[in-house]
Every structure is written in structure tokens, then in C-alpha cells.
């Protein structure tokens, strides 16, 4: 399996982005898995262009994008991306779209084509907290997930794609009020490697109840 693994540059005033720090440390869990890594600008539209250009240049099987979700307490495997940008803070070029469609003629939402339930199960098997998330937000991560899935459906059939949000690392919460939840960097790395194992092992997802009541 040939996998493109992407993560974002720091944003929102943080000096580092643990998503990219973790991605840099990820090792292919088996010789049958070839991983290419790509840092993506935390910028609306440029982020999609960067990843879509990389997908077009290579014969890939899957794209796994990773972003920081500061405040989350577990690794969140995203189920769906919605066709809207609503930025609470500007991106790294000062863009701040409010209630704008990502793609004017695109569908309202795009579902992950990765085996999200198997990924959650495999991360938990490593002893790490993981969950299905039903919202990737309305900022650049949701934007990229939507853009990659929309392009994949239109131009790169056979390329599976999806998104994982990771928590802060402990060093990044020290100066934040009430110290939001965090996860050690080596654990985030292990979680991503487990998710990659699941992507390689499962062409179709397994069925398990992971929905939320509210
Ligand atoms: N997290 C942000 C954008 C970049 C990142 O790592 C998000 O969740 O939208």
C-alpha cells in the first residue's frame, strides 16, 4: 500500500503543531506499506491544492491527513466533512471565510472512505483512547478533508482518503487556562501507526456501534 500522510503547519499562534511533529516520527508498520509525508499550509484552498497536486503526481492507494484538535481528549477518526467554511480565527494567510461553501457545486458532505471503525479499534488495541468523530469542525481541517475526498471522487477513483484529529501534546497545554487534555507525542505516533495498519488491513470497514446519542 502506498500512503500519503499529511499534517498541517502550526496555526493560531501556537509555535508547533503536534500533528506534524507526530507525522514526522511515524514509521511504516510493515515493509508492504510505503509512506510519503507532506506538510500542508494551514490555509484555505492552498491546503487542498497542495495535497491534490501530490495525489496527482503519484500512484497512491490512500491519503491520511492529520490535524490538531486542541482540547480533544482522544484521537478522533473523522467520519464526514461538510461543504462549509466558517472560520473562528484567520488561517495562516489571514483568510477568514464565514459561511462559504468550499466547493460551490459540490455535495453537502463527503464521507471518509477509510475504514474508520477498524482504525478506532486498532488504536484502542494499543491501549490508547480513540473515537469516531462526527464533525471535523468548519476550519481548515474540515476544508482539506472535504476537498481531498471531493477531488478523489471526481479524479482519483481508487484512492481512499480520510482524516484524523489528534490532541495537544502536554507541553502545549502548560500555558493554557485549566490545562486542556493532552496526549504524549510517542502515543500520538503509535496511534497513527495503528490507524495505518488498519487502513492496510481493511479494504472495507467492520461494523461496530460507535455512534453518539447527541
Ligand atoms: N488543525 C486545524 C487546522 C490545522 C490543524 O492542525 C483544524 O482542526 O481545522
Q: What is the pLDDT along the chain (214 residues), one digit of tens a residue?
A: 999 999 999 999 999 999 999 999 999 999 999 999 999 999 999 999 999 999 999 999 999 999 999 999 999 999 999 999 999 999 999 999 999 999 999 999 999 999 999 999 999 999 999 999 999 999 999 999 999 999 999 999 999 999 999 999 999 999 999 999 999 999 999 999 999 999 999 999 999 999 999 9
Catalytic site positions: 78, 141, 165
Sheet of strand 130-133, all strands in order from the earlier edge strand to the far edge: 34-40, 2-8, 62-68, 160-166, 75-78, 130-133
Name the residue of 46, 67, 147 whose CB sits within 8 Å of the most ligand 1 atoms, as the mutation to test its pocket. Answer: 67
- Name residues contacting ligand 1 (CB within 6 A): 8, 11, 17, 19, 42, 67-69, 137, 139-141
Query: What is the position in ligand 1's atom list of the atom closest to the CA of 42?
Result: 4
Beta bridge partners of 8: 40
What is the per-residue pLDDT for 203?
96
What is the per-residue pLDDT for 164?
99
What is the per-residue pLDDT for 108?
98
Cα(213) to ligand 1 centroid in Å equals 25
What is the per-residue pLDDT for 2?
98
What is the per-residue pLDDT for 209?
95
What is the per-residue pLDDT for 81?
99
What is the per-residue pLDDT for 26?
98
What is the per-residue pLDDT for 51?
98
Determine the Cα–Cα distance for residues 106 and 120; give it in Å rounded to an integer: 28
Determine the Cα–Cα distance for residues 199 and 61; give it in Å rounded to an integer: 10
What is the per-residue pLDDT for 159?
98
* Contact partners, residue 90, CB within 8 Å, separation at least 6: 96
- Predicted TM-score (pTM) of the model is 0.98
Amino acid at each position: 500500500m502506498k500512503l500519503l500522510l499529511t499534517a498541517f503547519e502550526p496555526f493560531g499562534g501556537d509555535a508547533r503543531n503536534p500533528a506534524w511533529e507526530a507525522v514526522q516520527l511515524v514509521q511504516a508498520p510493515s515493509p508492504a506499506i510505503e509512506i510519503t509525508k507532506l506538510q500542508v499550509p494551514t490555509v484555505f484552498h492552498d491546503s487542498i491544492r497542495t495535497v491534490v497536486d501530490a495525489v496527482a503526481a503519484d500512484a497512491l492507494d490512500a491519503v491520511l491527513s492529520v490535524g490538531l484538535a486542541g482540547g480533544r481528549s482522544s484521537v478522533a477518526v473523522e467520519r464526514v466533512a461538510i461543504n462549509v467554511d466558517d472560520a473562528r480565527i484567520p488561517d495562516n494567510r489571514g483568510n477568514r471565510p464565514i459561511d462559504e461553501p468550499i466547493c460551490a457545486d459540490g455535495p453537502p458532505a463527503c464521507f471518509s472512505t477509510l475504514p474508520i471503525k477498524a482504525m478506532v479499534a486498532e488504536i484502542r488495541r494499543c491501549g490508547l483512547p480513540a473515537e469516531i468523530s462526527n464533525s471535523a469542525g468548519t476550519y481548515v481541517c474540515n476544508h482539506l478533508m472535504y476537498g481531498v475526498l471531493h477531488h478523489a471522487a471526481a479524479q482519483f477513483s481508487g484512492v481512499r482518503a480520510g482524516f484524523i484529529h489528534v490532541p495537544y501534546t502536554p507541553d502545549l497545554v502548560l500555558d493554557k487556562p485549566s490545562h486542556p487534555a493532552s496526549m504524549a507525542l510517542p502515543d500520538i505516533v503509535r496511534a497513527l501507526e495503528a490507524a495505518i495498519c488498519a487502513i492496510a488491513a481493511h479494504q472495507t470497514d467492520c461494523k461496530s456501534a460507535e455512534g453518539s446519542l447527541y
